[in-house]
Structure 1
């Protein structure tokens, strides 16, 4: 298995600022690893909300996380400002692989990066369904070549 190489901020199609909090730091003086995954969730769902594609109560389809991964390259700590980059790496019939890069302050090289795979399912049956067309079009706008 080859060691991942940090991405550059310019590799991402969408950026969202996230403020670190005092409570994000662990006893080792940097942000705890579980917080990175909450940032992944924040950038993905924040983008979906901005695109008017996420309705927690009424949407007939929901995206369930089926796979996630994070590689860490350098520490982030309070009071750093995080810029979370988002892009789509692949689209399936009912799934999407989001890739996220986390950049501390003005750094252009990722402090951490990873992915999040959503499978879209029927809200009631929890069976996979095709991505709604509006969602697919929006995802294609931040898709990058493999």
Structure 2
């Protein structure tokens, strides 16, 4: 399996259907969360909706680069979730996350393996591989948070 195919598989595992690392994934954890639960604040923790938006923000930003655009995302805006006040709005965010996750994986899979060693936008960001690995690890980190917050909400 090529390295880009392997990375795409790892990415799909954390977002869409995998069980290997965390025995769960974003899609599985979020499928039965209502908009009220997603927006419920527990102490100083981020809400599930904020974490979902946050991960999608980075996926969308990398898609833009993969498609030839500029790196337009900024960390300071990565939690700027628009207000969610209905199940329809929550479902729209989830659908966008999962659609873009599949789009990201497809774009990644189509890249030549040699692209992984190239500079990602600017030398200060390292290589494509470093950024893709970082997104996967970052996603697992927030998946763990979502899983724990969900347990707190249900109990």
TM-score range, shorter chain: under 0.3
TM-score (norm 2): 0.24
